[in-house]
Amino acid sequence: MTPEPGSARPSAPDSTPSSDRPSPLPRFPRDFLWGVSTSAAQIEGAVDEDGRGPSAWDAFAAEAGRIKDGATPRVTTDHYHRYREDVALLKELGVGAYRFSVAWPRVVPEGRGAVNGAGLDFYDRLVDALLEAGIAPVPTLFHWDTPQPLEAAGGWLVRETAAHFAAYADAVAARLGDRVPHWITLNEPAELTLLGYGLGQHAPGRHLLFDALPAAHHQLLGHGLAVQALRARGATSIGIANSHGPTWPASNSPADTEAADFYDLLLNRLFAEPILLGRYPEGIAALLPGPVADDLKTISEPLDWYGINYYQPTRIGAPEADDSATASDFSGIRLPAGLPFAPREIEGRPRTGFGWPVVPEALTELLLTFHQRYGTALPPLMITENGCAYDGIDDPERIAFLDAHLRALRTALDAGADVRGYFVWSLLDNFEWAEGFHQRFGLVHVDYTTLRRTPKASFHWFRDVVAALGWLPT
């Protein structure tokens, strides 16, 4: 008998009083795409094998004090050698799609020039294994692992990096395009710009503050050029994975509202509007290098869908006197003094292991804001990441988080948002960037000493959700 959506398959009759049992999840469209996500730098390992070149994250992790406990991405979960085991887990999970990333330095070790056939061979094997398991491969072409030779030459601050990225995208599509149904160009250019180039918390570790804006523009230009390259290879389903979240003013005061609007511009509008509307928010274009008006024609190449990574909203206030003089920590990020906005805590909410507030209804708000803000310019949406960090193999907090966010997603669908799929971050516990191995986002627990994989309670829960909801009509 098919379980109710959101329920588990108990090994014995459930004696829980009916009034205490969670209600079944609401129905989703029959063709709704269920998946999970990972990224190459966080799970592959094998950084010196088969011709792979160094990435900006390899160089960043080699610098003392950059990563907690000196962790590096050299081995991580060793997915490069254990991918068949991981595909078997995906098959057991029952998802229809797997979002992974292709490592640019594995395919083009110098970032430009010669293509490494052995690197493409790995993704050939992975794609074939996924298709054999009945799972659609959804590769992301760039998930922050810039080849280090390009980074040393300026990385995304340099315009030529966008052209090199397009050439790399063409090489990947030439090899895999006959079997890949969906493509993602970039993952979270906002985070790379702000955390990598602006604040120095992520690779490449630069502290440019607002002088990091050229990195945003060049990533978006690279996105547009990659869309053109993929189209030329026959791709018919292309998207991007941008991080977004609602921005709430700390109060109704004009100062707090103005600060929140500015933060919303930096995190949301700066990365959505060039793609969706073909223009930057007012005042931004003048701060960017190159022929911006012509570049925007490329950046706004039509997409088949638009991916949103959602984790949390942000409450923002105007800086107070002490904010302008003292650096502060917020959600694990060190913020310098003197910014024109100041994050404020969202109180009265449960927290993930990362300390992030759990606010599922903000996902509904975000999706409806996009629906209303961009109207007919907005293609169908995909939730390309949503998840949370908690320790333990028995992880009821993660189940509650995912359950609540799926209900919030269904509410947005009922209110008119056009969302076609949902990907959990992440399949595996992994290398969580500057946090090293301290934050566990996976549905599958990884012992980092033995590399043994153990499905968590949330894995079994999500398996049953997919089994129950995957066949139901609208």
Q: What are the catalytic residues?
A: 188, 385
CA–CA separation, 53 vs 405, rounded Å? 38
Question: Is 425 marked as a binding-site residue?
Answer: yes
Q: Are strands 306-309 and 328-330 parallel, antiparallel or unpaired?
A: unpaired
The answer to whether the annotation marks 374 as part of a ligand binding site is: no
Is-contact 441 389, C-beta < 8 A?
A: yes
Question: Is 143 labelled a binding residue?
Answer: yes
Q: Annotated binding residue at 168?
A: no
Looking at residue 52, the DSSP 8-state letter turns out to be P
The torsion angle over the Cα atoms of residues 27, 353, 146 and 191, rounded to 10 degrees, is: 80
- Specify whether the CB–CB gap between 405 and 360 falls below 8 A: yes
Q: Are 185 and 226 in contact (CB under 8 A)?
A: yes
Q: What is the distance between the alpha carbons of residues 66 and 200, in angstroms, rounded to a whole number?
A: 10
Q: Which of 150, 147, 144 is nearest to 55 (CA)?
A: 147
CA dihedral 388, 348, 316, 435 (to 10 degrees): -30
**Residue 372: how many other CB atoms lie within 10 Å:** 12
Tell me: is residue 432 an annotated ligand-binding position.
Answer: yes
According to DSSP, residue 348 is labeled: S
Say whether 280 counts as a known binding-site residue. no
Q: CA 396, CA 403: separation in Å to the nearest integer?
A: 10
Q: Name the residue with tokens 């000493």.
A: 449
- d(CA 198, CA 114) in angstroms, rounded, equals 31
Closest CA to 314 of 251, 389, 368, 249: 249
**Does the annotation place 156 within a ligand binding site?**
no
First to last CA, the chain: 21
Alpha-carbon distance of 194 to 270, in angstroms, equals 12
Reported residue count of the chain is 474
List the one residue out of 187, 196, 188, 205 whose CA is nearest residue 142: 187
> Which one-letter amino acid corresponds to residue 32?
F
Label residue 386 exposed, middle or buried (CB < 10 Å: 0-12, 13-18, 19+): buried
Cβ proximity of 387 and 395 under 8 Å: no
Backbone angles phi, psi at 109, to 5 degrees: -55, -35
Q: Which residues of 82-115 are buried (b: 16+ CB within 10 A; e: fewer)?
A: bbeebbebbbebbbbbbbbbbbbbbbbbebbeeb
Phi, psi values for residue 329, rounded to 5°: -110, 140
Q: Which amino acid is at 444?
A: V
Binding residue numbers: 42, 143, 187, 311, 425, 432-433
Binding residue numbers for substrate: 42, 143, 187, 311, 425, 432-433
